[in-house]
Amino acid sequence: MNLVEFSELIVKKLVKDSDLVKVQEFNTDDEDVIEIIVSESDMGRVIGKKGKIANSIKTLIQAKAYNDGKNKVKVNIDSF
């Protein structure tokens, strides 16, 4: 399972509209960027109080990336 599939799995379990979740990976010279896009109505579920859920999602993705041999991974969470 790659990082995009792993990220989708985590986020789709949290939101109501799982069909609207989009995860993309961008590779740059310095780091990899995982961009998670959810509907605006699900943004509160993904961020959580004081950003605790968002931080947990980022930690899990970075741990998976470390196990896959990737050092620098940045995670962006956005809505449309």
- Residue 71 maps to which CATH number? 3.30.300.20
pLDDT tens profile 2-20: 999 999 999 999 999 999 9
Helix, strand, or coil (residue 13)? helix
Q: Give the CA angle between residues 62, 66, 72 to the nearest 5°.
A: 65
Number of structural domains the chain divides into? 1
Query: Which domain does 11 fall in, by range?
Result: 3-79
Residue keyed to tokens 């970075």: 62
Helix, strand, coil % over all residues of the chain, rounded to 5:
50, 25, 20
Confidence of residue 59 (pLDDT cuts 50, 70, 90): very high
Q: What is the pTM of this model?
A: 0.92
Beta carbons of 5 and 24 less than 8 angstroms apart: no
